[in-house]
A = this chain, B = another copy of it.
Amino acid sequence: MDINGVEIQDTFAEAFGIQTSRLLITAATKKLAKIAATEATGYGTSVIGCPAEAGIDCYVPPSKTPDGRPGYIIMICNMSKKKLDHELLERIGMCILTAATTAVFDAMDEPDEKMGIGKKLKFFGDGYEKELEIAGKTVYSIPLMSGDFLVESDLGIKDGVAGGNIFIMAENQPAGLLAAEAAVDAVAEIPGAITPFPGGVVASGSKVGSNKYKFLGASTNEKMCVTLKDEVPDTEIPEDVNGVYEIVIDGVDEAAVKSAMKAAIESACTVQGVLKISAGNFGGDLGAYKIGLQDLF
């Protein structure tokens, strides 16, 4: 099949289960909320090497937040609940509590369970912390140098989905990149889905292990490298493709990831110079989820 003349390959994205949290950061202004959200979700592209996968889900206007201030919902994810607990404590404690005018509320619908992150962070108040109720939520107020930081007592987590993805194959690098930016803009509209890589875009692809260096756990996927297409005999890069970017998507559930992949593909296909949409998988034996590209439409 094709969309706007762009071939949608008959393949599937292979995705994995991941423990997912979703929290709302509010602040005095949209800009201040964004600053905290950005710091808290940095160094969070892939759990292969980062301590978490993290990203901004969406903006929430003042009329829709518990404290009537603008906010951003972020997601922080890790394969292990214990590590997720650690990441939530440190990313909230070091990157949001320390940011100007912020508060943190749970934003996970239908969680599998709740983690007492606020219950632990409150001890930082050294006895001066207070329990409040805001919009029906139990919240702790912790006195800081600049004023009080509010954090909801319990934050929901859920068995979500990591590694939803599409490959954008284009005439050249700039076309792939512009299409990738358009795809990221489209995913931003889908609640419960993030694109955790830098600016939402992935410039590299990897394979498990290495052919040459046995000590490596992962190495570049030479079959998908545009500059190696004349050198690697079993290259998967078509003759006319000179730029490939990937969009990786994590979501609170498979439905969110599918909606995000669909929106990403549709947007990527509006950009001139995009030739083909594909996806990454490991043959289907590793991940719990197989999301066929053509099944999305």
Do B245 and A146 have beta carbons less than 8 Å apart? yes
A side interface size, CB within 8 A: 110
| Complex Cα gap A63–B188 (Å) | 11
Are B173's CB and A273's CB within 8 A?
Answer: yes
Smallest beta-carbon distance A43→chain B, Å: 4
A149 contacts partner chain B, Cβ-Cβ < 8 Å = yes
Is A199 in contact with chain B by the CB < 8 A criterion? yes
Neighbouring B residues of A98 by C-beta, 8 Å: 45-46, 197-198, 202-204
Known pairs A98-B198, A144-B203, A225-B143; A62 contacts B172 (CB<8 A):
no
B203 x A101 contact (CB < 8 A): yes
State whether A198 touches B95 (Cβ < 8 A). Answer: yes
Q: Is A242 an interface residue (CB 8 A)?
A: yes
Complex contact A94–B273 (CB within 8 A): no
* Cβ B39 vs Cβ A198 within 8 A: yes
A175 to chain B: which residues have CB within 8 Å?
171-175, 273
Taking CB atoms and an 8 Å cut-off, the chain A residues in 205-248 that contact chain B are 205-206, 210-213, 215-216, 218-222, 224-228, 231, 242-246
Say yes or no: A145 contacts B272, CB within 8 Å: no
- State which of A6-14, A151-159, A178-186 sits at the interface with chain B: A178-186
The answer to whether B128 touches A182 (Cβ under 8 A) is no
State which of B70, B100, B102, B124 has its C-beta within 8 Å of the C-beta of A180.
Answer: B100
Could you say which residues of chain B place their CB within 8 Å of the CB of A31? 181
Pair A273/B172 contact, Cβ less than 8 Å: yes
A186→B71 CA distance, assembly (Å): 11
Q: Does A136 contact B (CB under 8 A)?
A: no
Residue of B nearest to A248 (CB): B98
Chain B min CB distance to A171 (Å): 6
Query: Nearest chain-B residue to A179 (Cβ)?
Result: B174
A20 to chain B, nearest CB (A): 17
Q: Are A228 and B143 in contact (CB under 8 A)?
A: yes
Which residues 118-142 of A have a CB within 8 angstroms of B?
123-128, 142
If A41-B42, A45-B94, A272-B172 touch, whether A28 touches B178 (CB-CB below 8 Å) is yes
Partner of A146, one of B100, B188, B204, B228: B204
Compute how far the CA of A294 lies from the CA of B221 in the bound complex, rounded to whole angstroms.
42
Interface residues of A in 65-97 (CB under 8 A from B): 67-70, 89-91, 93-97
22 examples of A-B residue contacts, CB within 8 angstroms: A28-B270, A35-B199, A45-B95, A46-B98, A48-B94, A49-B89, A50-B94, A63-B263, A70-B186, A95-B198, A98-B197, A99-B198, A99-B199, A100-B199, A123-B219, A125-B220, A127-B211, A143-B227, A144-B205, A146-B203, A146-B226, A171-B171
